Structure 1
Amino acid sequence: MTTIEPTITPLVVPVSLDDDDAADFRAYGELNRRICDEQVGLPDLAPDAAQMLPDWQDDTDSLDLGFVARLDDEIVGMITVSFAQEAEAHAAELDLLVPEAHWGRGVEDALLARAEAEARARGRSLLQLWSLHRPKEADRMLVPRTGWGRIPATPLSDLAEANGFVLEQVERNSEFDLRSDPAPLRTALDDALAVAGADYRVIEWNMPTPPELRDGFAGVLARLSTDAPSGDMDFPEEAWDAERVVRRETRLLGAGQAVSVVAVEHVSTGELVAYNELLIAADRTGVTHQFGTLVSKDHRGHRLGTIVKCANLLRWRELMPDSTVVSTFNAEENRPMLNINEAIGFVPVSYAGGWQRAL
């Protein structure tokens, strides 16, 4: 295939998707879904333009930039670059979106070079990206530095390797059938509650988080950046307070999404020590996505992960009866969480590879 030199321009972030300058951002949402469909047959892994726009409009906690590659007037690919805004953040996270029809023509190389230049200009010393993979065996299987999990090589992983990226981690994408018999969930929840005992109690709410819970919720959200398994991927420790919780929820709810939270409180300290979030887009018949799930390190071993997962799945069946499936990602080395998923009926449907390169 002939190598070409595309024209690359910044992605415009509109005030509204109805604005005259919103065409490229709408195309971004469509391309994101197309890539997920081509790579793993799961277009609903990708949020649409309406879901993504609030995040792009607020750069307080993360700055998102995008670049659009064109041949003549046709969009042939995009790349996005996200910069965490913590003072100690070192990485720029990339998402390379080039459809199969245009792969191998130099579009991906040009976009990757443009994103790297932006990362260097902003003083970042690391590049990170994620690749999607089908759950199948291939002639060449890749194993991350963690030693957990394996993924089949793809054109994107080949590009990452050729550009000096190292496969640091593999995540499993699993789905749960919301139409299945809820009895196993109830049994697992009852058993876990008996193990946890009176030291812990369950708290449930729909976002936005009640004001009296924001500080506690901020505390457990902060632990996600330090306590969740991440191999050698360089993620900064995030600083959370009630104001950041409000900002996050304004972004999440701004596109008509709904979020259910189930948390566990340590009774003697009043501290929230575990949580699970389930999110759905404005279309309540679509795929539900599990967002954050965490049990604080100091409180592991009490079945709190099972409690928050099972309680929220049961709650969700009542809140969103028209959603049929829940999708979630977990690190392959996070066996405690994967054990819970497997026991209650989650099945693997795809995988993601976490790549990192020092500049």
Structure 2
Amino acid sequence: MSEIRRILPAERELLLQVHEVFEAVRAAETPELAPVPAERYAGALEHPPPNSELQCRAAVEDGKVLGQLWIYLPHKENTHYVEAELAVRPDHRRRGAGTALLEHLLRFARDEHRSELVVTVRTAVDGGPSRPDTGARFLEKRGFTSALTEIHRNLELGDLDQTTESRLWDESITAAADYELVSWIGRCPEQYVEGLGRIDSQIFAEIPLGDLDLRPRTVDADFVRTREDRAEAQGHTLVRTIAVHRATGEVAANTVIYVHAGEEHAGQAITIVDPAHRGHRLGLLAKIANLRQLREHHPGVTTIWTGNADTNANMVAINDRLGFRPVDALVSYKRKLDA
């Protein structure tokens, strides 16, 4: 009989097994996705996103991790919400570990007085590789419903057509004549911290969230610096480009790529344009400028991964024009909990 217990960052041997479980699932079900090095797991637990907590709960039997929950718990805004990823070793399925972990998660969410529980699963998309539907069916049978579908895409930098990139740049630069693109590696220059926080505070108000109840959060200077401290502590490098309105000095657009030390795969995170400054192709220009900066300073990166809600037509169109191609979908399954 397995027990479900919390695994702490110092428990390196158990965290290595957590890594093994995720890698076994990736190899069996989603081999096209980038591998995650073992050291990232302890770092993520030790350095969670600002104003939140990450926890790992595992089903352990005779010292062996059979399955686990990776839990995200906001502590400032969105304290009604909890999100988790559930994984069970492929060779230990249909023996009750997944059900026990999910029941544990439901109790945990209620104990934390959370009213919205989200569990994410991978599904196939048109033109992408096959994906099993067992995770989705498992959740649907237990009262979860699909709330948001995020299409994950990748870009092989070696396949990026330079002629197309130059044409897109030339076609767009005139529309952005009233803006200056500013790029940097690492920490945000002090003069842009407030503006960066202001535009990032708009994220949950502006990006499509489907049926998820995620409310806007305040991103202030402390949040920006804590986020940078977290990235540095985990060995990540932030590659960022913003667009600044020349007349007012406002930060009008922001895009960032996370480069992971020693890895060929990087993650394209948020790209956002202030609604007051849309219509100037700032999203496209900022992303092109940031890709150029990435190639110059991190030539070892070969692949960029990104994800966008399937209803985010504008950003999907930009990614398509740059050559990103769909791989699969990350679907957020939601269940409302009684108070």
Same fold (TM over 0.5): yes
Higher mean displacement: 151-160 or 213-222: 151-160
1:98-138 residue CA offsets vs partner (Å, 9 max, x unmatched): 12212221111100111111111111001012111233589
2:137 matched residue in structure 1:
158
Q: Could you tell me how far 1:256 is from its partner in structure 2?
A: 2.0
What residue is the counterpart of 1:338 in the other structure?
A: 316
Q: Which residue of 2 aligns with 1:6?
A: 2
CA contact (8 A) 2:241 2:289 kept: yes
Match of 1:80 among 59, 70, 74: 70
Paired with 1:323 and 1:33, the residues of 2 have a C-alpha distance of 21
Deviation at residue 301 of structure 1 after TM alignment: 2.1
User: Tell me, what secondary structure is at the counterpart of 2:202?
Assistant: helix
Deviation at 1:42, TM superposition (A): 3.1
- Amino acid aligned to 1:187: R
Compute the displacement of 1:228 (Å): 1.0
Partner residue, 1:205: 184
Would the aligned equivalents of 2:154 and 2:304 in 1 still touch at CA under 8 Å?
Answer: yes
Amino acid at match of 1:122: E
CA distance in 2, matches of 1:161, 1:221: 33
Q: Which digits, 9 at most, give the CA deviation of each residue in 1:131-188, with x for residues without a partner?
A: 11233589xxxxxxxxxxxx97611101110111110121111111211232322221
Asked if the contact 2:4/2:60 (under 8 Å) is kept, the reply is: yes
1:291 aligns with 2:269: yes
Retained in 1: the 8 A contact 2:71–2:82?
yes
Number of aligned positions between the proteins: 334
Alignment of 1:84-123 (within 5 A): 84-123=74-113
Is structure 2 residue 254 aligned with structure 1 residue 275? Answer: yes
* Cross-structure match for 2:215: 236
Which range moves more in the overlay, 286-295 or 177-186? 177-186
SS at structure 2 position matched to 1:229: coil
Structure 2 residue 225 is matched with structure 1 residue 246: yes
Q: Distance in 2 between matches of 1:310 and 1:172?
A: 21
Does the 8 A contact of 1:40 with 1:134 survive in 2? no
Extract unaligned runs of 5+ from structure 2.
none
Query: Residue type of the partner of 1:175?
Result: N
Q: Which amino acid aligns with 2:12?
A: A
Cα shift readout 1:210-258 (whole Å, capped 9, x = no counterpart): 2222111111221122211111111132111111111111111212222
Separation (CA, whole Å) in 2 of partners of 1:357 and 1:305: 34
Partner SS state of residue 309, structure 1: helix
Q: Unaligned 5+ residue runs, structure 1?
A: 15-20, 139-150
- Which range is displaced more, 178-187 or 168-177? 178-187
Name the counterpart of 2:57.
67
User: Counterpart of 1:179 in 2: which secondary structure?
Assistant: helix
Partner residue, 2:23: 33
How many angstroms apart in 2 are the aligned matches of 1:10 and 1:305? 41
Structure 1 residue 31 displacement after superposition: 2.7
* Mapped partners of 1:120, 1:347: distance in 2: 39
**RMSD between superposed Cα atoms in Å:** 2.0
**Cα 1:152/1:178, change in 2 over 3 Å:** closer
Aligned partners of 2:12 and 2:42 also within 8 Å: no
Aligned counterpart for 1:57 among listed residues 34, 46, 68: 46
1:192 paired residue number: 172
Measured at CA, do residues 297 and 47 of structure 1 come closer, stay the same or move farther in structure 2, by a change above 3 Å?
Answer: farther
Give distance in 1, aligned partners of 2:127 and 2:280.
36
Cα separation, 1, equivalents of 2:104 and 2:27: 25
AA aligned to 2:39 is A
Whole-angstrom CA distance in 1 between matches of 2:234 and 2:47 = 14
